[in-house]
Structure 1
């Protein structure tokens, strides 16, 4: 049951059937091999050296040879020829020859290279969402249980239970809050595209507040605004002098030393397209000189915008909808040569770019992490989501969605992260009204943290049957820094996985309606795995420690642990009720035994209400005296078995 609440907070026709080829590794094999060091074969295959040379790679003789090997099911010939052909793909091949990607993925899978197979399956779906290859790729990926939207616990459930338990829980995750940056930054006309200086004390952003009058009409005019942070507060924004013009300026970024400004200007007479990239330099007196167009080697006859610099200031990333890309808009980059000149731009490649749109690149000011917005990647919570990708051995790693704590049902883009990775600044719309954007700050959750690269994984199985628990919620709480982590459901095989910041203390919690809550406090020092076993909860429970003294109904200290487990289970599962049943042996007066059993059941009920914070209507207490023995009483041991308290769980 998924309505659980959280405790804490490409075309080549072949007659051969690739569907019969079986994978050689388990889903965890992917995680085991996906380390920071990129395997040599992955580096070779996914480098695609023709991307910047040929729009489309075609070699008919080689294709004929591949077809012949495929028809004969001669894998020894088929695989190396197909591998080299795919490796030589140009941009257009990823769409036109999409099925070749799928065929190579199946061959990689058959050889046990899970990492290469999954990467190729993802390329299939990123660049052609229809057709047989895409359909089969989706099916092939199912076995690896990759992250999906439904893996995350809905946040309304999460926050509801955080609120529900706040009176008794002391270890709760912080609740991330969208903070509107206020009237000093935002206006009534739309504000977006924030960018911070390397020292985090200057913010540039785009605003439509300054209108432009032409004749009898008033037009929106995008300008760059500047705000300074003084003593932790952002001052009222002012126009950026010597930069703004009657044309539209926006999407600015500063060099690490703050002396060079890159931005976009649209519809200008010296432009090459609808929007171009410009540069301006600040003199010794702090005055910006006249901006200059970056030229035809960078700008195109189309739209070029959203510049972002690498920490060294020698690589410039931006977004463009120019012809020759993978999708509607792609991320491109240029870098400085030995003479300090920008080289002709290059497409960042098919791992980042998709058939959809990629915009708003942002390179972290301290780490080799590229963030961007996209509507074309496989895990998506809304329209445009924010993703992050790591630079590893000259390759971009598979982008990761930064999770539902940032990405909602609308669009998230135009963003920046401070150098300390504490806050995310970005534009949000009111009910997806893109004409009414405001700037917000938001505590950077774990999924978006640049250093969240260490893997925590585990499983939970039934200790009696060995079967996985496939229904439950897993939460992780950062005990050192209070960085919030989005909770997840257990997967079908009882597994879970999180990427966390190393060298921190964490609390791991697993809860569900079929087992008692598990907790584990641990220090993360490198990848770590927990494999838990626990008993399944039956509808009727009995605890060995709930043994009352003879003839008495007072609770004993040793009972509290089991009673607290029951209270936590009820708090974890608000739709469950409990019936407490008290029983005695046959010794003594039956009427007194009946009263004694009722008193014992009532004592437990009172404890759960008073100390467990359980609502009284959820608990029923009944004493049965000696009327319901479970064994015939011959020995003292038989009598001990009949003296018991049972808990009957009632699920609505």
Structure 2
């Protein structure tokens, strides 16, 4: 009944956006568990109940029953999180006791929430059999008061990343939770979902800015019907004022203890109409480049069964955009050759965001019949090379494929994160590759069908550190992997699935954003001759709109910039130090009819310009009269940091090893006069399974490192100039 408040109070206040779930806070053991009651509208002086609970080591309260008599806590039992319960009797809390084995496992249980009737517990766990990381489960209480078997909430809610801090509202069907895996601004974002009449969960909706930022946003605890919530705010990242345009106001709820716990009031702004842009990306699992032209997206009223809207996607860009209002909907994605896909969506009247993003994957009909094989990479725990259960499942799928296709050759490439020495990581990556191959050999596959490589800490796909230099465990987890590559197959029914890295974790050449990097919004990128009068009109309207925005108050010129690169034009809006500011402007930009606008770092814009320049040069080269081209070319097959046995290049004779000046061993094939003959041979190599080949001039290669001459050492290659003070001690 919201008259009881239990919270932790320690010597150090850590905001949720600063929290790293994989790092133990040194002050954590000193936190006390405090209890306060609301009497005549005011909170009583908090009482330390740590001893009453018998709490030792690290314990945190996570939820409380509606009548305030059952307190649920999570305790770290030697790196094994478990959920406990304490009862309020005779004005005291009883000693905490663990819940049964249906709830607690040898894995990590980190959070819980209970329905108002006390009959259903939702909790998070990283137990085996989930979708990856922490998943949300439910358990129902039987007549004896015992908790029943845990049931995973499914793929609509849970992703391969972490879902955390669920909270169920008093209606027992609206749930808020934080996630890394859904459409996020960065880190953990708060989402909410609704349990529908057909006992399925609606697609999660991002709560949006200013509650969500580019940091980790956890512990959002809504009350009543979601009209207000309690939340620890990081004021450095948010600017929230009473009656602001987002419809959110905050009140410091009595200054409980020394930590700032805020009560956030969510209201509908005056004149607000719930018209939402529904958009997203459509991914074809067979990796075809263009959507079928009969693709149609239908928005169906879940209650009446009426189709309220239909739209067609952009077939080339594989995305879609339509408009919806508040209500309960079933979204149908349908086309020939693929299984029809459905998403459940609930938009409440109080929803203050302007858009909803739902990405979908379309499964080919052949896949559902077992005629396609999807090969995925596998992942490892830190400093380990033993296979997880889910990794063995993926490798068994590969073994089945190789048994049915005995001519296949497979490359197994091990990788590590950035922690540890070069030597240890090199050995670790080799052991990871070997562990995968050993499993496949144990399933009857001949050892000669594998090429094993260990890349050590050299080929990252995700960042290992945040821009401020702090550790990023989520990025490092993605780097600890074994990649599987099919070397010599042209079969269309074998799909090697790429690892999907969230935008905020993507690795760049520098490994992270430069400390002084900024953000902008890319509005348009297209050929100069294709820019229409409608494009110009939209840009003019947007410029007028942005000039009146407070974020552009100090900008003397136009808020919209134009850049010409060869025959292409790029239009961008603004330059922002904080990504959260860019998110605010992106909402305005989309409303002004730029639905495909994206937030890019300034270094990313430089990279885009560089790629445009390369494409332009390639186009010019393609238009050269090949009959006059006497240049000698070769085809590069691979570039490695360590020399390889030439026998790994199956079906090829005459492969040449080139030790280049940058220390890489580059492997090339053949020598061809003229670009045309080189292209023909390149196509032949692709058919043999060497899909990453490209053509280079033979002048680019040397058989050995030169030992005579003048040399310099290149430190860094950047898309933009940098102050020379960037290079410390040089």
TM-score by length of 1: 0.37
TM-score by length of 2: 0.33
Per chain length, whose mean CA-contact separation is higher, i.e. which structure has more relative contact order (CA < 8 Å, sep 6+)?
Answer: 1
